[in-house]
Amino acid sequence: MRILIVGGGMGGTILANNLARRLKNELKTGKVKITMLSASDKHMYQPGLLYVALGRMATDELYRDQASLLEPGIEFQVDPVEEFHLDKNQVKTKGGKTHSYDLIAIATGSRPVPEAIPGFAENSINCYTEAAALKFHKTISEFKGGRVVIAVGVPHKCPMIPPEVTFTLYDYFKDRGMLDKVSFHYTYPIGRLHSLEPVSNWMKGEFAARNITTETLFNIKEIDGAKKVIRSEEGSEAKFDLLVAVPAHKGMEVIEKNNLGKGGWIPVDKLRLTIEGRTNAFALGDTTNIPISKAGSTAHFEAEALAENLASIVKIGSPVRDYDGKVFCFIEAGKDRATYAMFNYNNPPDPKPPTKSIHWFKMAYNQLYWASARGLL
């Protein structure tokens, strides 16, 4: 049986490794072949970008060679897919190769689209790419004071970034003795401070203690760099001296070009991750249209469920479990305190007061991630 995994990010990598261990014997005997096609020979730890932006992590710490993360027996090729022919169980790559498969899992991820908003790229900072994180750090290190405005595009990857970037930037300026020169104004697209109501309620108190002002129902329409004003779809505006703006995201272009899903998001069954109308094609991670957080942990837990199911399809002919919607997100509440939100389709999160120990666990996880990617944690 030929299993094809398209995408070498967190979801694709955990899926491949978990699957390879479950199918160790089948791989040895040649009954199963696992192939991964990726656009890059490098694997980036994307959550590290926040720390690069704050000057607390070097860019080379973000990367490992993708091949070094994969279990022996997985065939890895740096050759991105350009054409999906799901009716024929085939894909065609940029390099011109055609790969046939029996089972396919698509984990191509998402991408920020700052160009969707006039003035966005030129007049704001964010931490969603290496270049953006470096620009972020340069900008804040040269900032002399003024009004910092946080704004959030929809949809976006990592829903904890808006509070995290606010809390950590506050502490960054506090450590530099600048709080008398800096004020914070936090805006958010819906009618509270965070998608998760318990997180929003917790943020209220934390923001009040820091004199951070807020405005909700604020969706970015345009940014006027000359006047240093950001305007919302709802008709309001906010003046800024420094604008931290989370860019809206889309799925990858190759998904849209192949008509697999509007916006680059592939419609899937939220429990089995099967692509709508298919029985042997799956998607996971940011790639899906499931109304759930676009986050590394979502991809991680989906990959574990999908690996078990694909292995079961090989061994007994059918999947055995559902993905329960599990998500676990750390929330940095400053430079040295953190909390977390854990939830699934049936149970809302219940964030606890932040502690130093959770922050240090997050610091440890920044290194443990590589064990996660190998499917060991």
Query: Per CB under 8 A, which of residues 344..363 are in contact with other proteins?
Result: 345-346, 348-349
Task: Figure out which of the listed residues 293, 309, 339, 372 binds other proteins, where binding follows CB under 8 A.
Answer: 293
Distance of CA 192 to the CA centre of its chain: 22
Considering all CA atoms of the chain, what is the largest pairwise distance in Å, rounded to the nearest integer?
68
Q: Is 73 in the site for other proteins (CB under 8 A)?
A: no
Distance between CA atoms of 157 and 296, rounded to whole angstroms? Answer: 9
Bond preceding residue 155 cis, omega within 30 of 0: yes
The dihedral through the CA atoms of 206, 209, 212, 218 has a sign that is positive
CB of 268 to other proteins, least distance (A): 12
Nearer to other proteins, 41 or 215 (CB): 215
Q: Is 72 in the site for other proteins (CB under 8 A)?
A: no
Task: Figure out which of the listed residues 292, 333, 358, 373 binds other proteins, where binding follows CB under 8 A.
Answer: 292
Q: Is 219 in the site for other proteins (CB under 8 A)?
A: yes
CB of 246 to other proteins, least distance (A): 12
The candidate with the shortest Cα–Cα distance to 328, out of 336, 339, 314, is 339
Q: Collapsing DSSP states into helix, strand and coil, what is residue 136?
A: helix
Token digits of residue 110: 């998402």
Nearer to other proteins, 65 or 234 (CB): 234
Q: Collapsing DSSP states into helix, strand and coil, what is residue 112?
A: strand
Token digits of residue 54: 């704050």
Q: Is 291 in the site for other proteins (CB under 8 A)?
A: yes
Task: Figure out which of the listed residues 30, 177, 191, 277 binds other proteins, where binding follows CB under 8 A.
Answer: 191
Q: Is 247 in the site for other proteins (CB under 8 A)?
A: no
Residues 6+ apart with CB under 8 A from 300: 10, 11, 14, 372
Task: Figure out which of the listed residues 7, 109, 162, 189 binds other proteins, where binding follows CB under 8 A.
Answer: 189
**Residues 257-276: x where in contact with other proteins by CB under 8 A, - otherwise, as a string:** -----xx------x------
